[in-house]
Amino acid sequence: MSQRLAALNLLLRFAVKPRLARTRGPEEAAREFARTAALILRRPPYLRHLERPGGLHWISAGACVPRRVILYFHGGGYITGSPYTHEGVMARLSKLARVEVCAPAYPLAQDAPFPAAFDAAVAAWRRCRALGYRPEQIALAGDSAGGGLALALLGWCCGQGEAPAAALVFSPWTDLTMTGESLIRNAQADPFLPVARIGELVDLVRGALPRDDPRLSPLYAEFPGCPPVMIHHSETEILADDARRMAARLRAQGASVGLCPHPDAPHAWPVFDGWIPEARQTLRQGARFLQDSFAATSR
């Protein structure tokens, strides 16, 4: 563990986690995260961010290979975040992979609970297809709740016979039935997320859907003809078992899965790129995976 990561974990544990535990509601959480992201989350030089019709944001930070795109879903527990709050991590991944990112501004749960976010993800996929991208020219990616949304979309794409080139996710939230043992095992070890608020969040997010609906909990989805998947997670986060069990389910259905645990990083640590070296290391690994996956589909 780097000294910067150790310092970040302390900051999250004693300043951010208690604040998350007492946040009054999703509107307040969204406002606070937007302010914090603007001040804290770093962005690479030469970032380009264009908002185009259909609620799609196109983000890059350098030269990109044409006719390839990363469809990236931001995290934030489905109640915070936007393509603007996460533009730094998206732009860095774009720069490293040399592939432009398309980031949908999917609706937050306080404005429209599920399946609205999933429907927006499908609409984003269809928009990319309408722009001329073939399935093998699109990779799915996301962090936290956005990682879960990317995997839910992956299941839908596989069911439609339109498997993308690959999927890359960081600390994905995949099981809103809350059956992962790490919710209990890592309740104290997790420096970032307060487990006491998870049940409340699930009830807000799911709307009328059952908690095991695959649009909401991709742990229960089917993935016929699944492309390669890379999953990064921290062994100390409360969602560790969401990642581990997701990898096991994908492998049981024939997918090639790279499960990449970090011993002590906070939840969704790549968003802290520019602050901790571990974030850049993980993004480089993910970028190489995407490059290799695109290369394999173009042969």
Enumerate the active-site residues: 144
3-state secondary structure at position 208: coil
3-state percent helix, strand, coil for the chain, nearest multiple of 5: 45, 15, 40
Residue spans of beta strands (DSSP E) within the chain: 48-52, 56-60, 69-73, 100-104, 138-143, 166-170, 229-234, 257-262
How many residues comprise the chain? 299
Q: What distance in Å separates the CA atoms of residue 270 and residue 169, rounded to the nearest whole number?
A: 10
Q: Which of 298, 230, 237 is nearest to 93 (CA)?
A: 230
Q: What distance in Å separates the CA atoms of residue 227 and residue 245, rounded to the nearest whole number?
A: 18
DSSP 107: P
Question: What CA–CA distances, in Å, run from 86 to 107, 121, 144, 212?
Answer: 15, 17, 12, 27
3-state secondary structure at position 17: helix
DSSP 16: I
Helix segments in 79-138, DSSP class H: 87-97, 116-130
Q: Which of 88, 95, 99 is nearest to 143 (CA)?
A: 88
Contacts of 263 (CB under 8 A, 6+ apart): 1, 234, 235, 236
